[in-house]
Structure 1
Amino acid sequence: MSRFVIIGAGAIGSFLSTRLHDAGHEVLLIARGARLEALRNMGVLLSEGGAERQVRVPVSAACDPATPPDHAILATKTFQIESALALLEPLRGSRFTLLTVQNGVEAPGIAQAALPRAVVLGARMHGFFELEDGIVRHTGVPATLLAGPVADHATDPAAGQASANLAGDLIAAGVPTTLTGDMRPALWDKFLMAATIGAVAPAFGLKVGQVLSHPQASALLREAMAEVERIATALGIELPPDCIDEKLDFIGRFPPDVTSSLQRNLEAGRPSEFVHLSGAIPRFARQADLPCPATDEILARLRARGLQPD
């Protein structure tokens, strides 16, 4: 059995901790504040398939440098990544596999810079998870993971074996996991939608599910997606040729009242993933030496509506 440290006790971190704990692995779930106290008192409350259960996963506010993990999972929001990595600082001298499951495309690089000895894998998790009233709810499709390196570890045999060991542990714990040799296209493919629709909707005062029925918002969304696709290409990332149409078709099936977490946080004035999603597009455009007028218009519309992203 393997030793896991999971940083972040939100919906995904808590869900993965229960699966790995149930499979017999040694799991330490790192949490803070009220969430830590709730977990100490009640354990993880998990709702799946209409049934609710309580899982007593070991929890702590900090890692134990005396017992380094075989694998760590970084399961916080992107705007919490620096503070999450600080919790792993005591393990900086250890070599372990680190899985990042954040939105955006920058988390693996940030993690690798902070923990140079770690084998860092980016990941894209499929499934619907939410933490509401202290209960982790997993609904809809079964959870699956796509994971892989974004740097030179792709050619490191030892790193490849470590990645395979992590994938095997997750699969055995009921989280089907597929490894890819280069995770960047999948991360950018998800980024293309999350970074655009999450800002276009609030820029027009619409729900995400209403954007495609609004001609101006719909056109601007497509233009912004095309900008992201061009930026990715210029940075050496090859996206599927039909990625924009596929994303628009997916959005078109949303109920009219659907919103994104980015939109909800922007409109409520809460900390958000804006800097690593919509706000990252101009930064990447400068790296690629490309303009991004559609994104610039979206950001201007957000400011005009009094939404000042962090």
Structure 2
Amino acid sequence: MKRIERVSLIGLGAVGSVVATRLADSLGDRFTIIADAARQERLRNEGLLFNGRRYDFALTDKDEPKELILIATKASALPEALDAAAPFVGPGTIVLSLLNGIESEEMVAARFPEAHVLYSYFLGHPSLREGNRITHDGNFRIYFGEAQNLTLSPEAERVGQLFELAGILYEIPPDMRSALWQKFVINIGCNQTTALLRSPYGHLQRNDLAMALAVDLMNEAAAVARAIGIAQADEMVERAVEVIHAMNPDGKSSMLQDTEAGRPTEIDIFAGTLCRLADELRIPVPLNRAALRILSAQ
């Protein structure tokens, strides 16, 4: 099987930087960053300091298809990311969208019908960022695969081979649609509750009322998943609670970090998406509707 050797990533933030450093160490200049002119200039001048080590990534400068493109921007920046990635997508290009939420893969596939889009998500401890300095404890895993496929596709197998060489832990679930909803349920409970309470993960772990709020938010999401026909919807909240208890007590969700920094949050990707789906199904989701109003108003 031919190895993947020409890889690009767009979105060198808290998630993208964790993946980019591993791929750069493994592939060298065969791994490149897709960025606009201003971002390229900053990267040339400042590089990226990841856990104290400076990375000067190669930058994509030729409009030619890549074998694999990873998208790791904020979900709200996906339209711009697709525009930036377009010159580098060709027939058979594999695309992994590591964005939060449950809708980005469909958007990528609609924009690039010639590409092979794998469902995917990043699950791990959050990074902390100050300017061009990022720290991360190395605890993460990437889940990817076909939407529903009991056999391993050649594209997923090639990505797995690449990740093994780069030291990136991964799993290939047989039902990525269900797995994506599992991550979505975790985000509904964890990201939103920590942002609403302005508290790190440890507050959910130690405070029964805080955890109860997270569970109630997640139960609303699981009810929607169940109505849509997502596999294993009945088990998602229990699994999510286990994940929350395994998190670094001092860690802060990306939504909490955005809230504290006064940046726009991804509330529309979480509660916003859930409320729209719930409206179509006529399922009440009052807590998520309240979270959407509160966090949208900040």
What is the TM-score of this pair, normalised by structure 2?
0.84
Provide the secondary structure at the position in 2 that maps to 1:11.
coil
Provide the secondary structure at the position in 2 that maps to 1:186.
helix
2:80 to 60, 83, 86: 83
Separation of aligned partners in 1, 2:5 and 2:32: 11
Corresponding residue number in structure 2 for 1:230: 223
Cα deviation, residue 183, structure 1: 1.1
Separation of aligned partners in 1, 2:20 and 2:200: 33
Separation of aligned partners in 2, 1:30 and 1:130: 22
2:129 to 128, 131, 148: 131
8 Å Cα contact 2:225-2:233 kept in structure 1: no
Cα deviation, residue 114, structure 1: 1.0
8 Å Cα contact 1:20-1:27 kept in structure 2: yes
Q: How many residues align?
A: 293
Deviations 1:114-172 (A, max 9, x none): 1111111122223333433423323153x432111227xx49x9x92122112211111
1:114 to 111, 118, 124: 111
Separation of aligned partners in 2, 1:202 and 1:11: 17
Corresponding residue number in structure 2 for 1:18: 21
Separation of aligned partners in 2, 1:218 and 1:249: 11
Cα deviation, residue 175, structure 1: 0.9
Indicate whether 1:7 and 2:10 are aligned: yes
| 1:28–1:271 distance in 2 versus 1, CA, 3 Å | same
Corresponding residue number in structure 2 for 1:41: 45
| 1:245–1:161 distance in 2 versus 1, CA, 3 Å | closer
Provide the secondary structure at the position in 1 that maps to 2:100.
coil
Provide the secondary structure at the position in 2 that maps to 1:168.
helix
Show the 5 A alignment for 1:97-246. 97-128=94-125, 129-141=127-139, 143-150=140-147, 154=149, 160-203=153-196, 209-211=202-204, 217-239=210-232, 241-246=234-239
| 1:12–1:214 distance in 2 versus 1, CA, 3 Å | closer
Letter of the 1:264 partner, please give it. Q
**Greater displacement, 6-15 / 197-206:** 197-206
8 Å Cα contact 2:10-2:70 kept in structure 1: yes
Separation of aligned partners in 2, 1:265 and 1:53: 25
What is the alpha-carbon root mean square deviation over aligned residues?
3.0
| 1:94–1:44 distance in 2 versus 1, CA, 3 Å | farther
| 1:253–1:172 distance in 2 versus 1, CA, 3 Å | closer
8 Å Cα contact 1:127-1:138 kept in structure 2: no
8 Å Cα contact 2:95-2:116 kept in structure 1: yes
Provide the secondary structure at the position in 1 that maps to 2:27.
coil
Provide the secondary structure at the position in 2 that maps to 1:81.
helix
| 1:74–1:291 distance in 2 versus 1, CA, 3 Å | same
8 Å Cα contact 2:215-2:237 kept in structure 1: yes
| Percent pairwise identity | 28
8 Å Cα contact 1:79-1:272 kept in structure 2: no
Provide the secondary structure at the position in 1 that maps to 2:66.
coil
Letter of the 2:288 partner, please give it. T
8 Å Cα contact 1:196-1:278 kept in structure 2: no
8 Å Cα contact 2:226-2:233 kept in structure 1: no
8 Å Cα contact 2:75-2:104 kept in structure 1: yes
Separation of aligned partners in 1, 2:249 and 2:273: 27
Cα deviation, residue 70, structure 1: 0.6
8 Å Cα contact 1:188-1:239 kept in structure 2: no
Separation of aligned partners in 2, 1:81 and 1:238: 27
Cα deviation, residue 218, structure 1: 4.3
What is the TM-score of this pair, normalised by structure 1?
0.81
8 Å Cα contact 2:46-2:132 kept in structure 1: no
8 Å Cα contact 1:125-1:145 kept in structure 2: yes
Long gaps (5+) in structure 2: none
Greater share of strand: 1
Long gaps (5+) in structure 1: none
Corresponding residue number in structure 2 for 1:271: 264
Letter of the 1:308 partner, please give it. A
Provide the secondary structure at the position in 1 that maps to 2:271.
coil
